[in-house]
Chains A and B, each alone.
Chain A
């Protein structure tokens, strides 16, 4: 009986040793492979150069006094070079496609953690800014930077998609992401795929007007935006932290195509809320929601996004308003 038990123990140890021997190469390779994929993915210009801004943030290469925050509407609407030409201070566009303030705040935290804090933040608002989506839109943009990243973990864990271990075990988050892996390999093999497509975070779209709009107008039901209370609280915290850090926060509501505005039932009340916030905290709020640009379809490629022509026009207007606004101190 004793013999049986000792044989069993010997076999068990042999079994565990063999498993260890088998998985050891996998464990050893996890981190180098993760590094390879993450590095070359982050160098690729896939997803309209989404990694460029993040690379600049994490490489402490921002070097800007003016930070432009917002969603894709910020990213395609405001040209930092036009702002520079007007106010003679470096600007950088941190607009992040498809995301509300929740993720915009994550980018803010990463920016100030890895770079010198900006003197001015121009926050491009839209009707969705203080709502929160369920899915992590374009989750691929977080992949190269999320391993052991506390901020990304804190801000993205509430979305559908990643599991807790994805943030802490190398390579795990790339499982099944064959498109992403192929992108990284392409980036490794072909320098062309690493060419920059953004200029200080800004990338205008040359797209023509979306012809589906007319059909959508008929088919699309009106929607009401639900505000996310935690995002609202976070926004209040953000405003106070800007004040405490002597960062001048300027709120901007950039133009939307007039006929697209009717789809949002509570649009007016959301803009009123931004006005209230600006008054409460004594912030400048420049509202272009009813600007003449809104009436000109030729300046848009869809109901909420300006095309290149529109973005140049709007950036010039904004730059001039920023420079000449009596309450803005930073550019005096």
Chain B
């Protein structure tokens, strides 16, 4: 089920009313309702893959319980490895089997040895990378004795499959989310209103900005050979805006929906396009994934407390693993690699933690220096997105090289340019609102709270009207494919 569908617009109020009016007496029954709703939500897409979630849940629940009981370190290690192998095994099979088989056979054929590759027609289960990482963190945290496993199987299952964040995150840690399933949840008026506001903003980002930018990004990327460097640069900017509004829009809806049910999810975005360098960008973009890699991969590898050479190795490992996490394509690996190359100079010159504070605090506008730094970072990030969006490496390289050709200095031309100006103006207004609310959890968290009710409602109605007017169709979120 998509957040931007009519189905969800019906599903959510039904679950909300059942949750607070019918099942509100007992927390266990509420959890059971969340579990059933989550399975319905996921099964709406393809019910066959529910068995996969259930199996993954069972494996980690059982392993978590045994890990806690087991005192012998060697046995504990075996249990942890079992969990890692099972979870990554599923992920590897569904997501990477064909990629590795094809890459293997291509490597052999480079050396003149043709081996028969047997690719399978595998459907990628939606959200598998997200819930796999979520359940993995549960067993790893128990292994590290940071967490005591729960005995409540329903609560644990609801934690794994919690519908607002099941298919595209934020990737939650059991230490944050699981205890919330075990505590009585009372209805909190302010939290719910805030949740609704965040949902509205998330839907606006997705439907009005992301989906409309996608029209132009797709048009340009899909016919890149027919366009000049300047048009390709515009296409890359459209994609840059699309992916941010698509993914952070999803996260806003997920967090807002959770708040309606009394849950607090982790923050996943912190206005990343206002970053002044790449390191700051990666502290603000897809935070739940970057912190996952930091805690479970980077730090165990030694992090930055090792020799310079090992630091470089560690950075490359986490960025390329992050790239591969996104998809089974060399373009994602290259995307990760380029980000690592951009990040390493900051790390080596110890400038990677230079911009920890909010940009232009208390000021309406950034300084010239801040503005240039933000613009430069945005341009660099936009160039890396080309690899993320391209069909294959050849496409990415030709696309990028055309941008750096003399045709960059021509006037961009593409179909429906006049209509796109409308979207560009809307996007500028959108970034203006984002800039205004950059100190908050999401852009309109506090916007209009001091306005009169009438003025505030007009603002919300204007957003709803724009959703109605700019709706294209029920487009899937980009991160569903991961």
Interface members, chain A 117-155 (any B CB < 8 Å): none
B473 at the interface (CB under 8 A from A): yes
Q: Write out, one digit per residue, whether chain A residues 152-167 have a CB within 8 A of any chain B CB (1) or not (0).
A: 0000000000010100
Most central of B193, B467, B468 by chain A CB within 10 Å:
B468
B371 at the interface (CB under 8 A from A): no
Closest chain-A Cβ to B231's Cβ sits at a distance in Å of 24
A15, B470: Cβ atoms closer than 8 Å = no
A11, B188: Cβ atoms closer than 8 Å = yes
B471, A5: Cβ atoms closer than 8 Å = no
| CB-CB under 8 A for A14 and B470, given A26-B464, A172-B6 | no
A212 at the interface (CB under 8 A from B): no
Closest chain-A Cβ to B233's Cβ sits at a distance in Å of 27
Select one of B188, B189, B461, B471 contacting A175, CB under 8 A: B471
B20 at the interface (CB under 8 A from A): yes
B460 at the interface (CB under 8 A from A): yes
Q: Is the interface of A mostly helix, strand, loop or mixed?
A: helix
B192 at the interface (CB under 8 A from A): yes
Closest chain-A Cβ to B1's Cβ sits at a distance in Å of 13
A15, B193: Cβ atoms closer than 8 Å = yes
Task: Report 18 cross-chain contacts, Cβ distance below 8 Å, ordered by A residue.
Answer: A4-B186, A8-B188, A11-B188, A12-B187, A14-B189, A15-B189, A15-B193, A18-B193, A19-B196, A25-B461, A26-B461, A163-B6, A165-B6, A171-B468, A175-B467, A176-B468, A178-B469, A181-B469
Q: How many angstroms from the CA of A25 to the CA of B464 in the assembled complex?
A: 12
B6, A11: Cβ atoms closer than 8 Å = no
B187, A8: Cβ atoms closer than 8 Å = yes
B457 at the interface (CB under 8 A from A): yes
Q: For residue B467, which residues in chain A have a CB less than 8 angstroms away from its CB?
A: 175
B472 at the interface (CB under 8 A from A): yes
**Contacts A22-B457, A172-B6 known; 9 new A-B pairs at CB < 8 A:** A11-B187, A12-B20, A26-B464, A175-B468, A175-B471, A176-B468, A176-B472, A176-B473, A178-B470
Q: Write out, one digit per residue, whether chain A residues 1-37 have a CB within 8 A of any chain B CB (1) or not (0).
A: 0001101110110110011001001100000000000
B469, A176: Cβ atoms closer than 8 Å = yes
Q: How large is the interface on A (under 10, 10 to 19, 20 to 34, 35 or more residues)?
A: 20 to 34
Closest chain-B Cβ to A297's Cβ sits at a distance in Å of 32
Interface members, chain B 183-201 (any A CB < 8 Å): 186-189, 192-193, 196
B471, A176: Cβ atoms closer than 8 Å = yes
Most central of A15, A18, A19, A165 by chain B CB within 10 Å:
A15
Most central of B20, B187, B193 by chain A CB within 10 Å:
B187
Q: For residue A165, which residues in chain B have a CB less than 8 angstroms away from its CB?
A: 6
Interface members, chain B 426-482 (any A CB < 8 Å): 457, 460-461, 464, 467-473
How many cross-chain pairs have Cβ atoms below 8 Å apart between A and B? 43
Closest chain-B Cβ to A310's Cβ sits at a distance in Å of 34
Q: For residue A181, which residues in chain B have a CB less than 8 angstroms away from its CB?
A: 469
Name A5's closest neighbour in chain B (CB-CB).
B186
Q: How many angstroms from the CA of A310 to the CA of B469 in the assembled complex?
A: 42
Q: For residue A176, which residues in chain B have a CB less than 8 angstroms away from its CB?
A: 468-473
List residues of chain B with CB under 8 Å of any chain A CB: 6, 20-21, 186-189, 192-193, 196, 457, 460-461, 464, 467-473
Q: How many angstroms from the CA of A181 to the CA of B469 in the assembled complex?
A: 9
B186, A22: Cβ atoms closer than 8 Å = no
Q: How many angstroms from the CA of A12 to the CA of B16 in the assembled complex?
A: 11
Name A166's closest neighbour in chain B (CB-CB).
B6
Name A12's closest neighbour in chain B (CB-CB).
B187
Name A19's closest neighbour in chain B (CB-CB).
B196
Name B469's closest neighbour in chain A (CB-CB).
A178
A15, B192: Cβ atoms closer than 8 Å = yes
Q: For residue A9, which residues in chain B have a CB less than 8 angstroms away from its CB?
A: 187
The 6 closest A-B pairs by CB, nearest first: A176-B471, A11-B189, A8-B186, A175-B471, A8-B187, A12-B187
Q: How many angstroms from the CA of A174 to the CA of B471 in the assembled complex?
A: 9
Closest chain-B Cβ to A28's Cβ sits at a distance in Å of 13
Most central of A19, A172, A174, A176 by chain B CB within 10 Å:
A176
B187, A15: Cβ atoms closer than 8 Å = yes
Q: For residue A7, which residues in chain B have a CB less than 8 angstroms away from its CB?
A: 186
Name B262's closest neighbour in chain A (CB-CB).
A8
Q: How many angstroms from the CA of A181 to the CA of B193 in the assembled complex?
A: 32
Closest chain-A Cβ to B326's Cβ sits at a distance in Å of 29
Q: For residue B460, which residues in chain A have a CB less than 8 angstroms away from its CB?
A: 22
Q: For residue A26, which residues in chain B have a CB less than 8 angstroms away from its CB?
A: 461, 464
Q: How many angstroms from the CA of A163 to the CA of B464 in the assembled complex?
A: 20
Q: For residue A12, which residues in chain B have a CB less than 8 angstroms away from its CB?
A: 20-21, 187, 189
Q: How many angstroms from the CA of A171 to the CA of B468 in the assembled complex?
A: 9
Name B196's closest neighbour in chain A (CB-CB).
A19
Closest chain-A Cβ to B407's Cβ sits at a distance in Å of 29
Closest chain-B Cβ to A30's Cβ sits at a distance in Å of 11
Q: Write out, one digit per residue, whether chain A residues 166-209 have a CB within 8 A of any chain B CB (1) or not (0).
A: 00000110111010010000000000000000000000000000
Q: How many angstroms from the CA of A172 to the CA of B464 in the assembled complex?
A: 13
Q: Write out, one digit per residue, whether chain A residues 276-308 have a CB within 8 A of any chain B CB (1) or not (0).
A: 000000000000000000000000000000000
Q: How many angstroms from the CA of A329 to the CA of B330 in the assembled complex?
A: 74
Closest chain-A Cβ to B187's Cβ sits at a distance in Å of 5
Closest chain-A Cβ to B71's Cβ sits at a distance in Å of 39
Closest chain-B Cβ to A204's Cβ sits at a distance in Å of 31
Q: For residue B21, which residues in chain A have a CB less than 8 angstroms away from its CB?
A: 12
Name A182's closest neighbour in chain B (CB-CB).
B469
Closest chain-B Cβ to A20's Cβ sits at a distance in Å of 12
Q: For residue B196, which residues in chain A have a CB less than 8 angstroms away from its CB?
A: 19
Q: How many angstroms from the CA of A5 to the CA of B187 in the assembled complex?
A: 9
Q: How many angstroms from the CA of A175 to the CA of B470 in the assembled complex?
A: 8
Name B457's closest neighbour in chain A (CB-CB).
A22
Name A23's closest neighbour in chain B (CB-CB).
B464
Q: How many angstroms from the CA of A8 to the CA of B192 in the assembled complex?
A: 12
Q: For residue A163, which residues in chain B have a CB less than 8 angstroms away from its CB?
A: 6
Closest chain-A Cβ to B97's Cβ sits at a distance in Å of 32
Q: For residue A14, which residues in chain B have a CB less than 8 angstroms away from its CB?
A: 189
Name B188's closest neighbour in chain A (CB-CB).
A11
Q: For residue B461, which residues in chain A have a CB less than 8 angstroms away from its CB?
A: 25-26
Q: For residue B186, which residues in chain A have a CB less than 8 angstroms away from its CB?
A: 4-5, 7-8
Closest chain-B Cβ to A23's Cβ sits at a distance in Å of 9
Q: How many angstroms from the CA of A181 to the CA of B466 in the assembled complex?
A: 13
Q: How many angstroms from the CA of A184 to the CA of B378 in the assembled complex?
A: 41
Q: How many angstroms from the CA of A171 to the CA of B467 in the assembled complex?
A: 13
Q: For residue A18, which residues in chain B have a CB less than 8 angstroms away from its CB?
A: 193
Closest chain-A Cβ to B278's Cβ sits at a distance in Å of 36
Most central of B192, B464, B467, B472 by chain A CB within 10 Å:
B192
Closest chain-B Cβ to A6's Cβ sits at a distance in Å of 11
Q: How many angstroms from the CA of A7 to the CA of B473 in the assembled complex?
A: 41
Name A14's closest neighbour in chain B (CB-CB).
B189
Q: How many angstroms from the CA of A12 to the CA of B185 in the assembled complex?
A: 13
Closest chain-A Cβ to B9's Cβ sits at a distance in Å of 9
Q: For residue B193, which residues in chain A have a CB less than 8 angstroms away from its CB?
A: 15, 18
Name B190's closest neighbour in chain A (CB-CB).
A11
Q: How many angstroms from the CA of A222 to the CA of B21 in the assembled complex?
A: 62
Closest chain-A Cβ to B14's Cβ sits at a distance in Å of 14
Q: How many angstroms from the CA of A163 to the CA of B471 in the assembled complex?
A: 15
Q: How many angstroms from the CA of A15 to the CA of B187 in the assembled complex?
A: 10
Q: How many angstroms from the CA of A11 to the CA of B6 in the assembled complex?
A: 27
Q: For residue B470, which residues in chain A have a CB less than 8 angstroms away from its CB?
A: 176, 178
Q: For residue B457, which residues in chain A have a CB less than 8 angstroms away from its CB?
A: 22
